Amino acid sequence: MNKVQLGSSDLHVTPICLGTMTFGEQVDEATAHAILDRSLERGINFLDTAEMYSVPAR
């Protein structure tokens, strides 16, 4: 998969970002690992780990 430069940094990420906000609440651990494994196999190296979108903080 092609990668793009992230801003003016030396980081290069995939143009597709995997959102993980539902991992743990709506997606169980085994399924989350399967999704992560499949994404890495496909070359995705950009993950959004914020958890403030759909579920209010506890």
Q: From the first residue on, what is the mean pLDDT of each consecutive set of 10 residues in the chain (58 residues)?
A: 94 95 89 97 94 65
Stated pTM of the model? 0.79
Q: Which amino acid is at 53?
A: Y
Q: What angle do CA 16, 22, 25 make, to 5 degrees?
A: 165
Domain edges within the chain: 4-48
Q: What is the pLDDT of residues 12-27, one digit of tens each?
A: 999 999 999 888 878 9
Residue 53 annotated as catalytic: yes
DSSP state of 30: H
Catalytic annotation, pick one of 7, 41, 52, 53: 53
> What pLDDT, on a 0 to 100 scale, did the predictor assign at position 48?
94
Cα–Cα dist 1/43, whole Å: 6
